[in-house]
Amino acid sequence: GENVEQHPSTLSVQEGDSAVIKCTYSDSASNYFPWYKQELGKGPQLIIDIRSNVGEKKDQRIAVTLNKTAKHFSLHITETQPEDSAVYFCAVWGFSGGSYIPTFGRGTSLIVHP
């Protein structure tokens, strides 16, 4: 099955700095790569996603880059704000048992200090 590694597990930055979280995956046939933000007591919220035929996608302060050859993708948050503090998860959709199913990373706890 798919193997997803997410780094770092914890990331502490000052307000206004940039934050980068990286995920690697094992299945070259994987085709969809979303990022989720989970705040305490809530379910994960989709913040940005990218398909396998695209190398980069941007939405205001958030961007995702995908390197299919190296099998890794990264979340970039610029001009971080205290409200960006949360746990971020990457996910990879891979083909298994006749369907595309997701495998999530273990999460990165982002702390933005005012």
Partner 1 sequence: ETGVTQSPTHLIKTRGQQVTLRCSSQSGHNTVSWYQQALGQGPQFIFQYYREEENGRGNFPPRFSGLQFPNYSSELNVNALELDDSALYLCASSFGEANYGYTFGSGTRLTVV
Residues that bind partner 1 (CB under 8 A): 1, 6, 32, 34, 36, 41-46, 49, 89, 91, 93, 96-107
Helix (H, G, I), strand (E, B) or coil at 109: strand
- What separation in angstroms does the CA of 17 have from each of 42, 62, 85, 113? 26, 13, 13, 10
Q: Which is nearer to partner 1, 17 or 95 (CB)?
A: 95
CB of 64 closer than 8 Å to CB of 76: yes
Minimum gap (Å) between residue 45 Cβ and partner 1: 7
Minimum gap (Å) between residue 42 Cβ and partner 1: 5
Residue 45, token pair as written in the block = 């919220």
For residue 23, give the nearest of 32, 14, 12 by alpha carbon: 32
Q: Which is nearer to partner 1, 78 or 109 (CB)?
A: 109
Minimum gap (Å) between residue 72 Cβ and partner 1: 17
Minimum gap (Å) between residue 35 Cβ and partner 1: 12
Q: Which is nearer to partner 1, 73 or 93 (CB)?
A: 93
Which residue type sits at 83? Answer: E
